[in-house]
Structure 1
Amino acid sequence: MPKLLHYKQPQAPHLQSKSRLFSLPAELRVNIFTLALTTPRIYLTVKNLRNELCLALVTPGTGGLDVYVIRAQRLLSLLLTCRRAHAEALPILYGINTFLVGNDTDLRLLARGMGGPFVRQLEFSWTLYEAPIRQLRKRWTSWLRSDRLEERWLKAWEEIKHMELCWLQVELCVPGGWRDKWIEREAEILHPLVDILREGASGGLTLTWERDANANIGAEELLPKWDVNRREW
């Protein structure tokens, strides 16, 4: 049998082996990735992609020069170049930047995603709009007016508790119709935050209601390690 029939085409050289980036020492690659991926804040939002919820970088506005779009392309393009770049750069992207999420769904997707274990700095701003009309005609089944919302509330703080954060900023925005109840039961409502910070981590809390003048325990006493601020909303 002619030998030509057994001839095999030589495999193309792996592009990563030809890349000058991966010929550099690991320490230098870390420095390069850090410079390329550092950004002031990363705003995340939920998008429905093929009937599946996923997180995406916020890109507000359409038309013209959009700095968020440019930033998103820069941050993600490096990770998409090859598997090795993705593996090396992903922990850096999530570890060095501050992520901002605006509700418990965003938080859950971030915490359970591939970058969740690497997130170290988080801003969690939750505006609680839900106030079912039917609950207004009945007695309160919980301090959040609905058992479903109370379950979401507790799960959100459990998600954060399992993240290895070194810095956490929380902002809670409550509509005026709810504010009296939150003022009255502030200590009970904020109790899930008591043990949420890991040793050595720092936290900030912004509340959009005033303190109850008759309360012996408020956020300031309940969370002595936190920087507590109050403002009107």
Structure 2
Amino acid sequence: MANPRDSKDSSGDATSLRSEQETVILSTPVELPGPKSDLASGGLSQELAAETAGGEPPTNTLPSPAAGIVRHGPGVPAILSGGRRGRTAEHIWGGGTPPAHSVRRLGGWAITSILIVASGIVLFLRFHHVPLHVTGAAITVQKAAGCRAEVAGRVTTNGAAGTITYRWQFKPGGQQATTLHQTIAHGQHAADLVITLEVSGHGSSAQTAVLEVLSPDPRTASIPVVLTC
């Protein structure tokens, strides 16, 4: 077999042929086989460093651990928001200072309750009247002139409104007046009850005038009366 290096063409010039066993140098780099984890991690580190140096936050930044935490069960949250930052665990578990709107609500209820009670007292005093009671009876005035005598009695009360039922009696003659009624206004503490006694004939007559209060409370008062005709 002829040696390719020593072959000549038909024109007689020597032609150099490259052997298939010679090394071929390529201008394009070839990726060598091997583990890619180091290359990938190195490239990622360079990319993160470049983006950080440029002032822009890396897009592959992992979220904050606190943002992804989900808490279950009782406890104090790690981050308190707004006005609740000043409250401690003792305030939360012990109730703490009541909110301002709760204090205003309690104050409103207290004022409303006071007004209701005061209104009830006024209505009670206005429409609920104490019953009338007679506290005493006495005969205060006696005027006799000939065969005629005028007797006046006074009945005292507790000042409540009502009606007094009474009658006069004369003894020993047994003369009896009809049952009479006297109206008492609210705040009136006394009432004067007057009756006139007349006799006929000649001579003297001794009588006893008796005032009987029948209701609301029984009371009795009497006085002697002398008539001369």
TM tier relative to shorter chain = under 0.3
Q: TM-score, normalised by structure 1?
A: 0.20
Structure number with higher helix proportion: 1
TM-score by length of 2: 0.21
More strand by share: 2
